Amino acid sequence: MKQINHYHHKKILVIGLAKSGVAAASLLHKLGAFVTVNDYKPLSENLEAQELLEQGITVICGEHPIGLLEEGFELIVKNPGIPYHNPMIAGAIEKGIPVITEVELAYQISEAPLIAITGTNGKTTTTTLVFEMLKTGEKQPLLAGNIGIVASEVAQEASTENTIVIELSSFQLMGIETFNPRIAILTNLYDAHLDYHGTRYEYVKAKANITKNQTENDFLIVNAEQSEVMEIANNSKAIMIPFSSKNKLSSGAYTHEGWIYFNDEKIIALKNIALPGTHNLENILAAIAAAKLSKVDNDAIFKVLNSFQGVKHRLQFVTEHKGRKFYNDSKATNMLATQNALAAFTEPVVLLAGGLDRGNEFDELIPYLKNVKAVVTFGQTAKKIERVAEEAGIKTIIHVDNVEKAVPVAYELSEQGDVILLSPACASWDQYKTFEVRGDIFIQAVHMLK
């Protein structure tokens, strides 16, 4: 990592632990800062805080005392999940104390160039595809960011021979100052996290931060089919690389007559791609653009796309059993994601859906239910989804207690050639701690059928 002295003897407050907070505090301590950590969880229950205390870092737990802001801190590093209206954060901003997130630290110490990916949907799939293409092309990539791997820890190990492929959320991007990826990808923009950002304008502004420090020597890969995304690209200094799954482009990545092209070069036939779904085609195009800009050869790109069947919990192919194909799309925590999943299949589908009730209805699913032969519901939204299924003309609708019980019921309702799809269209928190837990229970129940 770069040996920077920017933080030497500076008083820095890290608010909120979890993995990123622990990594930020440890890194700043190594860089010679006077670090104080503040976390809401009591010290007796807080193993991370106890470990930091053993390193000689000052730890204040159990509350967020606003008086801390009077102690002369020169910088605050906050957990991305803490909103800016939090009294501590709002108070710091009012006092003019800079507030950053841990990914800014990662950029500052990284010897490796970065490929950064953001957007509403498709971030994790695109990030994984870029990583796999660079890995297969022997470019020594490292994975980091919102995908679950703390960026500042990865950056400490990275050298000039590596490329860090980093997934970024809007929360992380709000806290950057100098962060500048050599290649940035903006997959798409839809309404999301408005409870955090307040308005769509603020959400989009946060996403646009991915390119705010890019220069004429950098690249911004963008979805040419979204005017909002293109507006961000037109205001960027970076070289714009568009992609489109619908139209032939004069440059960039696009589909035409059954093939994917990059700058008019044939890359791969659509029939040779293993990953299903039109929405995944956009992710693939974005990843191909990043790979080609990174000098990955076409053979490596082909090998990845010919075998890659998805990220876990994101339209993940689980197995085939007695002629039925099972797909785990537990990450589908909103209607758009379930619409994309349903649009990926031409086979008859048995849909497993339901979860946390956020107050919305599900009528927008109706046009996408034409191939659905049966619906198995669970969770708080079961009745709402059942109503929509009835309006769509689906005759077989069964309610069960949970995902585990839904799997054998769906199997009994299915025939050879059918797809059994978990795509809940809802968050998991009414019954499960995370969508990952929900997806793992689905996978276990599928394997129990055997």
Q: Which residue ranges are tagged as binding site for ATP?
A: 119-125
User: Token digits for 244?
Assistant: 């489109």
Element containing residue 422 per DSSP (H, E): strand 419-422
Q: Tell me the binding residues.
A: 119-125
Best CA proximity match to 169, nearest among 197, 141, 142: 197
Helix (H) and strand (E) counts in the chain: 16, 20
Question: Is 180 in contact with 173 (CB distance < 8 Å)?
Answer: no
Cα distances from 138 to residues 114, 133, 157, 267, 291, in angstroms, run: 16, 9, 18, 18, 11
DSSP string, 42-100: -GGG-HHHHHHHHTT-EEEESS--GGGGGS--SEEEE-TTS-TTSHHHHHHHHTT--EE
Of residues 85, 90, 116, the one with CA closest to residue 103: 116
Region for residue 145 given its phi and psi (left: phi exceeds 0; alpha: psi -120 to 50; beta: otherwise) = left
Angle of helix 102-109 relative to helix 18-30, nearest 10 degrees, comes to 40
Report the C-alpha gap between 70 and 357 in whole angstroms: 42
Q: Per-residue b/e over 422-431, b at no fewer than 16 CB within 10 Å?
A: bbbbbbbbeb
Token pair, residue 426, equals: 């809802």
Helix 123-136, helix 278-293: angle, nearest 10 = 40
CA distance 406 to 401: 8
Q: Are 313 and 295 in contact (CB under 8 A)?
A: no
